[in-house]
Structure 1
Amino acid sequence: MIEQIVAEDFLIAAKFSSVISNEVLEHSLDAALKAITMNVPPPVKVGACRALAQLLPKAKKEIVQPQLFGLFSSLTDLLNHASDETLHMVLEMLQEAVKAG
């Protein structure tokens, strides 16, 4: 249940990213980046990926760049375990990460 709540929170933050303050955007981005790199259940990582795909284009590069190595490493690991349903999402996330870097 907690996993589902966390995943939904990521999606809500991403949906409202255009109207939230920069401080809240940065906090949401930081939380999603940490979730991707942590040993958490797949639904949380999927929610974080979806949020990051929407948050990264709006984020300042100086916030994103220090965390890119961990993000790429975690996304590569996700690719190794991705199902057909999540494969496209992870690839899309990689594309956004490359653009952000």
Structure 2
Amino acid sequence: MTKDDIEWLIIELIAQDNEQAAADLLEELSAAGEHLPVDSLLAAEVLARVEEQCGVSLPTDAETAKALRSVKSFAEAVWNLLPKDQGKEATA
């Protein structure tokens, strides 16, 4: 799983919760900035599902809260917790 895969998973889950097409949400987030800023409450709502699907558990701390401010930082936090044998070298 790459960071791009995780970013897309986050976008899909947020879009599902908003009853919106993932491509439309991506377009909106891209227009808001290159890091795909998102309401951290929306990201928090999908946190458990992302953790479950990626097999990780993000700590409940200020760093995680900060990471939930954008799709890219959220994906980076999840990706950094993946086992090294899942291809840390696949830096997407």
> Which category of TM-score, normalised to the shorter sequence, fits these structures?
under 0.3
Give the structure-2-normalised TM-score: 0.28
Give the structure-1-normalised TM-score: 0.26
